[in-house]
Amino acid sequence: MSRLRNYQKKQLIKNLVFLFIFLVIIFYFAFTLGIKLLIDASIFIANLGSRSRDNGSTVKNTSFLGNIDIENIPSATNSAKMLISGSALNFDTIDFYLNDVKVKSVDLNSSGNFSEEIGDLEPGNNEFFAVAKSKKSNEKKKTNKFIVVYKATKPKLEITSPANQSKSYKQNVTVSGRTDKETFITVNGAPVVVDAQGNFQTSVKLSEGENKIEIVARDIADNTETQVVTVTYQKEE
User: Which pLDDT band, with edges at 50, 70 and 90, does 52 fall under?
Assistant: very low
Question: Taking a C-beta distance cutoff of 8 angstroms, is the pair 100, 61 a contact?
Answer: no
Share of the chain above pLDDT 90, in %: 65
Please check the confidence at residue 77 and state whether its pLDDT lies above 80: yes
In this prediction the pTM is: 0.64
Query: pLDDT of 7-46, one tens digit each?
Result: 666 677 777 777 777 676 766 656 665 655 555 655 655 5
CA-derived radius of gyration, the chain: 44
pLDDT tens for 99-127 read: 999 999 999 998 899 999 998 999 999 99
What whole-number percentage of the chain has pLDDT above 70?
Answer: 77
Fold for the domain defined by 67-150:
Immunoglobulin-like (2.60.40)
Question: 53 or 237, which is more confident?
Answer: 237
Q: Are 177 and 160 in contact (CB under 8 A)?
A: yes
Strand partners, 225: 217
What DSSP designation does 108 have?
A: -
pLDDT(3) > 80: no
* pLDDT score, position 56: 38
CB 125 within 8 A of CB 98: no
- Candidates 181, 179, 182, 163; CA nearest to 216 is 179
Residue 13: CA atoms inside 13 Å, Cβ hemisphere, count?
A: 6
d(CA 80, CA 148): 11
Strands ordered across the beta sheet of 199-205: 157-161, 172-179, 199-205
User: Does residue 50 register a pLDDT over 80?
Assistant: no
Please state, in angstroms and rounded to a whole number, the distance separating the CA atoms of residues 30 and 148.
75
**CB 194 within 8 Å of CB 184:** yes
Looking at residue 27, what is its pLDDT?
66
User: Of 117, 17, 22, 115, which is closest to residue 70 (Cα–Cα)?
Assistant: 115
67-150 and 157-233, same CATH topology: yes
* Every domain of the chain and the residues it spans: 1-63, 67-150, 157-233
pLDDT at residue 66 in the model: 86
Q: pLDDT tens for residues 150-193?
A: 999 999 999 999 999 999 999 999 999 999 989 999 999 999 99
Distance spanning both ends of the chain, measured CA to CA? 166
Q: What's the pLDDT score for residue 169?
A: 95
Cβ-proximal residues to 79 (8 Å cutoff; 6+ apart), any chain: 121, 150, 152
Give me the pLDDT at residue 2, please.
60
Predicted confidence at residue 132, as pLDDT, reads 96
Which residues are CB-neighbours of 211 under 8 A, at least 6 positions away?
A: 204, 230, 231, 232, 233
The correct answer on CATH 2.60.40.10 for the domain covering 157-233 is yes
Q: How many residues does the chain have?
A: 237
- Give the whole-angstrom CA distance, residue 64 versus residue 114: 21
